[in-house]
Structure 1
């Protein structure tokens, strides 16, 4: 399978590393080769039908700042949509940064791939949160596969889990922790008694929180995931503006201490149901499934037959997110 990888930040680099680590195993277990024929970042691209070396791609990015400096096949003139016309690929792996304003460039890249009859695997949330129905309809119209497990919980299996492991049970609601950064911040504030400001700064120094943490701490990231879960698993036709969102930036150490004395933690909880699409800080019991620390994500799926089923996994991380993308690539081949 020839892969075109658009976006070579933390997630894109994780995909290259994951392919390098698992290429032989995938060949042995599933009977197909994964070949990276094109990679693009914001500065340019590297394209070769013979295949690009994953380790050399990573080395080039780290040492020079762009894959456009890849030996012999690098190019800083071919970028964006032009990359899709310059490579013969089977599956687009779309890993550009999330844009909640207009979903670009992910939306245009995805729609072009569909039009060209290519399958798409994405880790992006923006275009899904804004244009879910349009994207699904276009994929179906062009009879291609569109997979986005990595867009919701990093390494936490939720979409594939419900669709493939619980096909006999109808999901009725989902409640969970869908953002690792905020969970880390709230966990640290609880254990250390530190202020929101100091804990956020620590998170940024550790690379857990972004330089601009707005999407995480104001609940935007979790709201996007709420939309994706609502559409894909519960059949609720909705978009980002339909979600009621409150972040964690106004939570004080005093509020956390008071909750702790009463036997509760404060967590940023996403609720997905036909009656509510909501992201907000809530009290959870200390001995409940929601009492997770660090960057872990979790989701409890309430079903008609299997009752409550809870999944837990790392919600952030380059290689962790790449594991979900690689799973989707394997499932694209299997179908």
Structure 2
């Protein structure tokens, strides 16, 4: 039986989700693929835990939650951080789960490029480096014969990139239109059902942990715009960058506007459009009862194809284990490719 050694960079909600999903699914992976998943290194922004023989997933999560420091992991805790972690222990796949940075894509960009330079495959949930440096990253993966998977960067559990590339390869994808941010969908859904103001609903979503303390990336459309860029490049082959997307968020939406739309049979949703003619994120009117009529933190997208017509998918757009499940799906793709 072959070991598949994983390095997890970033150990917040998503990184911990990856550890949990590995713990839950490693026996299944072993039975189906004859592969022994082994987490050999994990790092957050300031410390790490490293062991060639493998780390205990549950212990990693416990230590991080109880002390906040991976360096407190028994016997194998370390103060090594950043790029040095990638040199501290041999691994096969980088599970990159550091926070999204839309200013310069770091540290995800440097971590990913180093992994490719070392001949390692990469699975990421990060949007920043993909939105800013998509072609550079793809070129580096191809030059080093590495696999680069990033389904989790767009729709959480909603399959869209793999759907287009693996399930619909005979189709030309002409456009993608959808709801790509769960936080804004929750806020707008609550404003519609409860008649509450934007400010009050945002505060509620923050108290529930659905919106961040600083919600700017979500409510101003930045998160959805990053996803628009990733889909434009990876699915439609449009060499787009973040600055190519027209972006308007939901912070100006009033309860009065939502009530007026409701009376006329419409909802207001933050919609992302990805097409050769338009890259845009903005609030739009959608018909009640249409595929866009979804509530809570759900995401959805309609892919317009030349052969199959319109194909619509839906799924939970956020969450620790949910996002990690998409990363596990990508990891299984890596296993399948490398086993052939």
TM-score, normalised by the number of residues in structure 2 = 0.98
Pairwise CA distance, 1:26: 1.1
Determine the structure 2 residue equivalent to 1:292: 294
* Residue matched to 1:11: 14
Tell whether 2:214 aligns with 1:207. no
1:112 maps to 2:114: yes
- 1:56 partnered with 2:59: yes
Correspondence for 2:273: 271
> How far 1:9 sits from its partner (Å)?
0.3
Pair 1:68-2:96 in alignment: no
Q: Which digits, 9 at most, give the CA deviation of each residue in 1:252-284, with x for residues without a partner?
A: 000000000000000000000000000000000
Secondary structure of residue in 1 paired with 2:226: helix
CA RMSD of aligned residues (A): 0.5
Are residue 177 (structure 1) and residue 179 (structure 2) matched?
yes
Name 2:242's counterpart in structure 1: 240
| Structure 2 equivalent of residue 134 of structure 1 | 136
SS at match of 2:39: strand
Gaps in structure 1 of 5+ consecutive residues:
none
1:22 is aligned, of 5, 21, 25, to 25
1:154 CA displacement? 0.4
Deviations 1:157-209 (A, max 9, x none): 00111111111111010000000000000000000000000000000000000
CA positional deviation for 1:30 = 2.0
Match of 2:85 in 1: 83
Question: 1:113, 1:90 → 2: CA distance?
Answer: 9
Q: Distance in 2 between matches of 1:66 and 1:254?
A: 47
1:4 Cα offset (Å): 0.3
Distance 1:203 1:70 in 2: 33
Aligned residues: 334
Task: Please list the CA deviations of residues 52-74 of structure 1 after superposition, one character each: whole Å capped at 9, or x if unmatched.
Answer: 00000000011101211100000
For 2:36, which of 33, 36, 40 is the aligned residue?
Answer: 33
Q: 1:160: which partner in 2? A: 162
Runs (5+) with no aligned partner, structure 2: none
User: 2:187, 2:31 → 1: CA distance?
Assistant: 42
1:143 corresponds in structure 2 to 145
The equivalences for 1:245-264 within 5 A come to: 245-264=247-266
State the match for 1:230 in structure 2.
232
